[in-house]
Amino acid sequence: MSKRKPEDVLKDIEGSDLDDAVEQVAAMTAEQRRDALKAAGVDVAEVHAKADALYERLQRAEPARAKRSPARIVVPIAAVAAVAALAAAVIPQLSQNVASPESTPPDAGTDGADATPRG
């Protein structure tokens, strides 16, 4: 029994060359890809030259790309988060000490650092 519409099946068939080509090329090693290109009459050196030209364009465009990069936003956010975390850790301790400086027992530490009896 057919579960898909006939026109959908026909569209799948028509587009199967694209999916097959992507799958096949993805499964190849770099050397196999170059061999396949050579077999199709493609000059691999020319392909590399075109790729290098695109890379150079990419490099020239990089400052503009970097200006729009999320990294410029992430760094300040990370800095603000770090300051906030530090403040969250330090402020309760400070306020506790300010509120009752005498209430802290001399041996409150668990690592023994403050366990020395006070004279």
Q: Name the site residues for other proteins (rule: CB under 8 A).
A: 1-4, 6-10, 12-26, 28, 30, 33-34, 36-37, 40-42, 44, 47-48, 50-52, 54-55, 57-58, 61-62, 65, 68-70
Residue with tokens 């027992």: 105
DSSP letter for 5, please.
-
- The residue among 73 and 85 lying less far from other proteins, judged by its C-beta, is 73
Sign of CA dihedral 23, 25, 31, 32: positive
Question: What letters, b where the CB count within 10 A reaches 16 and e where it falls short, cover 40-71?
Answer: eeeeeeeeeeeeeeeeeeeeeeeeeeeeeeee
Angle subtended at Cα 30 by Cα 28 and Cα 32, rounded to the nearest 5 degrees = 55
CA distances (Å), origin 101, targets 22, 60, 95, 96: 71, 61, 10, 8
* For other proteins, the closer CB: 51 or 87: 51
Minimum distance of other proteins from residue 30's CB (angstroms): 6
Report the residue number, 13 or 113, with the smaller CB distance to other proteins: 13
Query: CB-wise, 40 or 108, nearer to other proteins?
Result: 40
